[in-house]
Amino acid sequence: MVVEIKKLDEKGSGQVSVWLETEQGNKRKLRLTIPQTLPGEKVRVTVDKPDRRRRRAMPDEILETHPERIGPACPHFETCGGCVWQHWDYRGQLNQKTFHVKHAVESQGFDPNLVKDTIGMDEPWHYRNKMEFTFATDGSLGLHEQGNFRKIITLESCLIAGKEMVEAAMEIAAWAKEYRLTGYNKDLHEGLLRHLMVRQSFATGEMMLALFATEAPEAHQQAADDLVKRVEQKFPQVKSLLWLENTDWADRTQSENTNVLAGRDFIYDEMSGYRYRLWFDTFFQTNPTQAQKLVDLALEMGQPKKTEKMIDLFCGVGTFSLPFASRVGKMAGIEIVESSIESAKRNASDNGITNTYFLARDARKGIDEVLESFGNPELLVLDPPRSGAGGKVMRKIGRSKPERIVYISCNPDTFATDIKELEPFGYELKAVQPVDLFPHTVHVECVAQLILKCD
């Protein structure tokens, strides 16, 4: 059939509904999801089971193209699930992200004109400082196929990861092939190699290679020894080479036992002039260039003062905590992940910051505990996960009455519903600045400023 793409879904694929006639002569709606298409395009598509209510199908032919359609730069684009918008001119991607944030804000009754144009990148390639690759059952290394979690696309390149990171990953892939090491079979729960995590500091140049396997390295001592030799000879910037044992059925990059094959179990990174230690499971902003813009925007909107107290909610390892702490009187950071809190404490100590208090609690209980011992803050910063902070947490924030709130969001929809909870407490949304941390994907971050109105 020939259809016209009406809109994009939350994963960046084209959406269209068509009415089909049944054998009984009735009309039935079929909702089609068509990846790698853009709004307004007319495409020819073949649907294998049109009697279903929803189907996903790749386009057979683009009959009428969007004026911003371009040729994808990556040879793996049509099959790899790492990027979804390489066929869209970068300016068009940024406009779509601005539209998404405006729509989310407007849906909750806020003025969409408060949303500024999305800040993009001058060079939207090789921006990621962390990648997680997966081994196929035959031991080849790559990323998941688009729309198919069980199939791995073997990679020859990756245009969103740092260049040295890709070179190191390809060396690991060659090593695994040479020793005929099997990949993990998710259905049979057998095989050796599961994932390879590569992370590199763009500031220090230090790199971590973390290999996730179902057995200890001693069971493959010759291969492990050769891996160390190869890495030390070809990649002197690798300061952490890890073999992580993971026998759990869940397909996650987790470790039951960490073996340091070479170097240390962490690397150093820097942001805003502060030094951070990153372990394999440390959350740190994946795009350091744009993350610096997030920090700068948060400081600009937060207007921290030496006479003030502040709370950093969902503080992680202190990405925002440390730059703010040097500008306020006292700062309390709250984070549910205990390892992140320990890292935040260590990072503060490493940087000579002594006016911080970090608490390992969930947000709801943590706010109560901090307020009791700390008092009400003049400034509150929060950077919640994609699921948002939630109504109960937002109402606790509203009752604590900070003069200024800075909300850093990675999900415009949950951001909009969260800040709606602050309206009854007298807060006014003043500005929303989207920032593109993930070019060629649907994701968009934003930094927002809310001010407590005077009575």
| pLDDT tens column, 216-240 | 999 999 999 999 999 999 999 999 9
Q: Give the SS3 label for residue 451.
A: strand
pLDDT at 455 (0 to 100): 63
Q: Which residues, 6+ apart, have CB-to-CB distance to 176 below 8 Å?
A: 135, 139, 140, 141, 183, 193
pLDDT digits (tens, 9 = 90+) for 349-367: 999 999 999 999 999 999 9
The number of CA neighbours under 13 Å toward the Cβ of 283 is 17
Read off the pLDDT band of 146 (50, 70, 90): confident
| Predicted confidence (pLDDT) at residue 49 exceeds the cutoff of 90 | no
Spell out the domains of the chain, with CATH numbers in brackets: 2-67 (2.40.50.140), 95-122+283-452 (3.40.50.150), 130-271 (2.40.50.1070)
How far is residue 299 from each of residues 234, 327, 418, 453, measured CA to CA in Å?
40, 9, 21, 20
Q: Give the SS3 label for residue 417.
A: helix
Assigned token pair, 256: 């039951």
| Predicted confidence (pLDDT) at residue 251 exceeds the cutoff of 80 | no
| Given 74, 158, 410, 446, the catalytic residue | 410
| Predicted confidence (pLDDT) at residue 118 exceeds the cutoff of 90 | yes
pLDDT digits (tens, 9 = 90+) for 282-331: 888 999 999 999 999 999 999 999 999 999 999 999 999 999 999 999 99
| Predicted confidence (pLDDT) at residue 250 exceeds the cutoff of 90 | no
Per DSSP, what are the bridge partners of residue 130?
A: 199
CA–CA distance, 176 with 139 (Å, rounded to integer): 6
CA 157 to chain centroid, in Å, comes to 20
| Predicted confidence (pLDDT) at residue 386 exceeds the cutoff of 70 | yes
CA–CA distance, 285 with 304 (Å, rounded to integer): 22
Which backbone phi and psi does 9 adopt, to 5 degrees?
A: -90, -175
pLDDT at 27 (0 to 100): 83
Dihedral through CA 215, CA 219, CA 222, CA 228, nearest 10?
40
Mark whether 410 is an active-site residue: yes
Q: What is the pTM of this model?
A: 0.92
| pLDDT, averaged across the chain | 93
| Predicted confidence (pLDDT) at residue 173 exceeds the cutoff of 90 | yes
Contact 215, 275 (CB under 8 A): no
pLDDT at 48 (0 to 100): 86
Q: Average the pLDDT over 319-348 and give the result.
A: 95
Amino acid symbol at 408:
I
